[in-house]
Amino acid sequence: MADLKFQRNFGIAAHIDAGKTTTTERILRYTGMIHKIGEVHDGAATTDWMEQEKERGITITSAAVSCKWNFPTVKGKATAGTKEYAFNIIDTPGHVDFTVEVERSMRVLDGLIALFSAVDGVEPQSETVWRQANRYHVPRIGFVNKMDRAGADFLNVVKQVREMLGSKAVPLQIPIGAEDSFKGVVDLIKMKGIIWHAETEGMTFDEIDIPEDLLEEAKQLRAELVEAVAEYDDHLMEKFFDNPDTISEDEIHAAIRKATIDLSIVPMMCGSSFKNKGVQTALDAVCRYLPSPVDIEAVKGTDPDTGAELLRKPDPKEPFAALAFKIMTDPFVGRLAFFRCYSGHLDAGSYVLNVRSGKKERISRIMKMFANKQNPVDFIEAGDIGAAVGFKEIKTGDTLCDEDHPITLENMFIPEPVIAIAIEPKTQADVDKMGMAIAKLVEEDPTLRVNTDEDTGQTILRGMGELHLEIILDRMRREFKVEVNQGAPQVAYKEAFSKTIEHREVLKKQTGGRGKFADIMFEIGPADAEWLKENEGKHFQFVNDLFGGSIPKEFIPAINKGFETSMTTGVLAGYPMESMKIRVFDGSYHDVDSDSMSFELCAKSGFREAGRKAKPVLLEPIMKVEVLTPDQYMGDVTGDLNRRRGMLEGMDSRNNLQVIKAKVPLSEMFGYVTQLRSLSSGRATSTMEFSHYTPAPNNIAEEVIAKQKGKLNVES
C-alpha cells in the first residue's frame, strides 16, 4: 500500500498560451513516462489528444496523467534518502469558454502550479483561475514560464501577482541572464546558482557560485523571503532577529510549506519549459511545498438523510467516499467517470451507492488515466484519482460512497451559459443521431444546455462562448457523424392588448340537419394588475358576468377553453399573448343547434375579430446585463451598450474593476460576448439573465411583424 505522504494531486492552470501543456509534456519526459517530447505547435503533445486540440494548438478538455518522481536528489541523481513520489497531474484549458474544465479540476485537486508568461504577466484568465483556486482553497506555487523570450521580466510578474491578484508572492529564485542569454537560476534558499545541461534535456545540472552582479539582489531577496516565512515559526523569527545566517535550509523549507498550505504565501519560481529549464526544480517544489492528501483536513460532507455534517479522513480504512468530477466517452471503453477518492478503498467489480440517484452502481473496472489511454488497476484508495467503467448513470458532481455509510460531498460551481444558437439536422437520417450526440455531449459537459424553444420549435444549444459552441458542432460532425444546420437563434417575442373593448360574436352554420349556433357578448383587454399580482405565474383572467341563463352553465367551460387556447397565437404576428382578461356578460343560444363545440369555436373567432381592435402591441424580452471592466475601457463599453438600446442603471467599482449594470433588449445582444472581448482586449466579462418583457419600439415592431407575416396590414 502506498504511503499517502508521497502522493501529490495537482493541476496546471493559467491564461491561454502561458505554456501549460508544454510544461506537462516536460514533466512526463522527466518522469520517464514518454521518451520523446511532443510539441503543441506540431500537434503532438500527449495531453492534447483530441483532433480539435491538435489542429488549433489549444487545450479543450482537461487531461489527467499519472507519473512518479524521485525526490530529494543530488544534482538530479538518486541517493539513499530518495523517495518515489506519485503524481496525479491535470492539464487544464486556458480559454474562458472551457472554464468549467478548470473549475471541476480545482474541486478535486490538492494543489496547483499557476503558470504565468514572463512577457505578458498576469492576464485576464489568470485572474479567473486565481478566483477559482480561492473558491476551493487550493494552495499554489507560481511558475513564471518563457524566461527565454524577449521582454521577459520575472520580478515584474511577481509584483503583478501581488498587486493584481492580491496574493503575497515570494520569489524563491532569481534568473541568471534574461531573454536569449537565460541560462539558469539562483536558488535563494541554498544561495547557489543552477545551470541546466542542454544535452540531457535539462535532466542534470551544475551548481555554481552566485554571479557577482546578482549577489546584492540575491541577499536582499533572501532576507525578504526569510522575513515572509518567519511569521510561521517563532523559532525562525528569533533566529532571524539574532543572526539570519544561522537559519538552515530545512527550516526555511518547513516554514514555506506551512505558509503555502495555509494559502498565506505563493512561492514564485521561474524557467522556460520549452527550453527544458526550471521544470525539474518546480517538481521538487511540488514535493516540498504542496500538500499531500494527508495534509489536507478531512473532507466535509453531509448525511443525505439527516443533513448533519460528516467528516471523512484521507485513510484507506475509512468508509469509501469519492466525487465524480468528469464524464468522458471513449470509443473503445465506452463511458468513463473520472473520480477523486477521498477516503476508503474500492476494488474493481464492487458496488457503490450514487447518493443523487439513490441507486447502486457497479464499478466493473478501475483505470488510471494517462491522457486518453487507460491503464487498468485492481483497486483505488484514498487520495488517488482514477476513472470508473461499467456504470449506468453517473453525472458530473455525483458523490459515490459506501452503501452502509452514505455521505453527500459538496458539489462544484457550474457557470451559467451566456450564448445560444439554433440547430437542426440536415437530413432525416441525422434526426436520431443528433438526439444521441446531444445527449452524450450534455452528459460530458455540464455547461452545455439544450432546450427546444416552444415558440419556434427549434433546438437551442446554449454554451459558454462562440468558441465553445463551434467546438461542440465540430465534435458532432466528427465523432458522431451528424450534419447540422445552424442559425441565429430566434428571439421569443410576445404580444399584449393595450385597451379594453366590447364585442359581440355570433356563430351560425346551417348545413342541413343539426347546425351550429352560438352568440357571445364579451369584453377583451389586458389583465388587471391587481389580479396578476395575486395570481403569480397565471396569464388568463376569465370573469363570468352572465345572469338570467342567457347562456347555460354547461357551456361556460367551453367559452373559457376557446379564449385560453387562442392566447398561444396572437393577432399581430402569431406570437403568444403575455396576459389577457375576458369578461363575458351576455349572449344567447339555440335549443337544438347550440353545443359546447359551437361556443368554443365562437370564442376563438371572437378573439381574432375583437383582438385586432384592442390595440395589440409587440413585447420584447429585456435582459439584465452586468459587465465587469477595467477603468480604461469604461467609455467604450458604455457607448456600445447605448448603441444596443441599453438603459444604464448604475455603476460601482469592485476590486479595481468597474461594474456596469444595464437593461438591454435580447435581440441586440447577439454576438455581444465577442464584441466585448474585442473592445476590452479580452479583459472585460459579462453576465446576462432575463429580466422582463416590455413593448418594442414601433420601428422594431414593424420589422418583426413584416418578417413574420411576409407583409401584414394591421387594422387599427
How confident is residue 490, by pLDDT bands cut at 50, 70 and 90? low
Residue 655 has a pLDDT of 60
Contact of 344 with 324, CB cutoff 8 Å: no
State how far the Cα of 110 lies from the Cα of 622, in Å rounded to an integer. Answer: 42
Question: What are 233-252's pLDDT values in tens digits?
Answer: 778 888 888 887 788 888 89
- Supply the pLDDT for residue 715: 41
What confidence category does residue 454 fall into, taking pLDDT thresholds of 50, 70 and 90?
low
Residue 692 has pLDDT above 80, yes or no: yes
By 3-state DSSP, what share of the chain in percent is helix, strand and coil, each rounded to 5?
A: 30, 35, 35
The Cα–Cα gap between 633 and 636 comes to 5
Would you give the distance in Å from CA 668 to the centre of its chain? 24
Phi, psi of 244, rounded to the nearest 5 degrees: -60, -25
Do the Cβ atoms of 107 and 325 come closer than 8 Å?
yes
| Cα 250 from chain centroid (whole Å) | 40
d(CA 254, CA 245): 17
For the cut 90, the answer to whether the pLDDT of residue 607 exceeds it is yes
Task: Quickly count: other Cβ atoms within 10 Å of residue 507's Cβ.
Answer: 21
| Other CB atoms within 10 Å distance of the CB of residue 179 | 15
Which amino acid, 209?
A: D
% of the chain residues with pLDDT over 70: 97
pLDDT tens string 306-350: 889 999 999 999 999 999 999 988 888 888 999 999 999 999 999
Whether residue 512 is predicted with pLDDT greater than 80 in this model: the reply is: no
Helix runs in 445-494, H state only: 466-479
Sort 701 into a burial class: Cβ within 10 Å, 0-12 / 13-18 / 19+. Answer: buried
Reading the block at residue 394, the C-alpha cell is 453517473
Residue 680 has pLDDT above 50, yes or no: yes
Q: Distances in Å between the alpha carbon of 522 and those of 500, 518, 586?
A: 10, 13, 7
> What is the model's pLDDT at position 624?
82
The model's pLDDT over 633-660, given as tens digits with 9 standing for 90+, comes to: 999 999 999 999 999 998 877 667 788 9
Residue with more model confidence, 318 or 683: 318
Reading the block at residue 536, the C-alpha cell is: 403569480
Return the residue matching grid coordinates 435581440: 667
- The DSSP result for 383-443, as a single string, is T-EEEEES-S---TT-EEE-TTS--EE-----PPP-EEEEEEESSTHHHHHHHHHHHHHHH
pLDDT band at 116 (very low <50, low <70, confident <90, very high): very high
Q: For residue 448, what pLDDT band results from cuts at 50, 70 and 90?
A: very high
What are the residues facing 676 on neighbouring strands? none
CA nearest to 301, candidates 163, 411, 174: 411
Which pLDDT score, from 0 to 100, does residue 456 have?
Answer: 66
Residues 40-50 have pLDDT tens digits of 877 778 888 88
pLDDT value for 418: 63
Average pLDDT over all residues of the chain: 88
Separation CA 80–CA 82 (nearest Å) = 6
**What is the rounded radius of gyration, in angstroms, for the C-alpha atoms of the chain?**
33
Question: SS3 sequence, 349-374?
Answer: CCEEEECCCCEEEECCEEEEEECCEE
Compute the average pLDDT of residues 680-696: 81
Bridge partner list, 116: 144
Q: Mind listing the pLDDT tens digit for each residue in 705-716?
A: 888 776 444 443
Mean pLDDT for 386-395 is 90
- The dihedrals phi and psi of 198, each to the nearest 5 degrees, come to -70, -35
Confidence label for 296 from pLDDT (cuts 50, 70 and 90): confident
pLDDT above 90 for 109: yes
- Alpha carbon 60 to its chain's center: 12
Q: Give the predicted TM-score (pTM) of the model.
A: 0.70
CA 134 – CA 107 distance, rounded (Å) = 11
